Amino acid sequence: MEAVTQFYKNDGLNIPVYILFISDGGVRYTRGISKIMTEAAKLPIFWQFVGLGGRGYGILKKLDDMAGRAIDNCDFFELDGLDDISEEALYENMLEEFPMWLKEAKQLGIVIPL
The full length of the chain comes to 114
pTM summary value: 0.88
> pLDDT by residue (tens digit) across 40-73?
999 999 999 888 877 777 777 788 788 889 999 9
Q: Can you give the pLDDT at residue 85?
A: 86
pLDDT bracket for residue 75 (50, 70, 90): very high
pLDDT bracket for residue 106 (50, 70, 90): very high
> pLDDT by residue (tens digit) across 12-32?
777 899 999 888 776 666 778
Domain boundaries, the chain: 2-99
Q: What would the mean pLDDT of 35-39 be, rounded to a whole number?
A: 90
E strand or H helix that includes residue 24: strand 17-25
Q: Can you give the pLDDT at residue 112?
A: 86
Which residues fall within 8 angstroms of residue 110, CB to CB, at 6 or more apart? Answer: 42, 43, 44, 70, 71
Q: Can you give the pLDDT at residue 51?
A: 85
Maximum distance among all Cα pairs of the chain, rounded to whole angstroms = 41
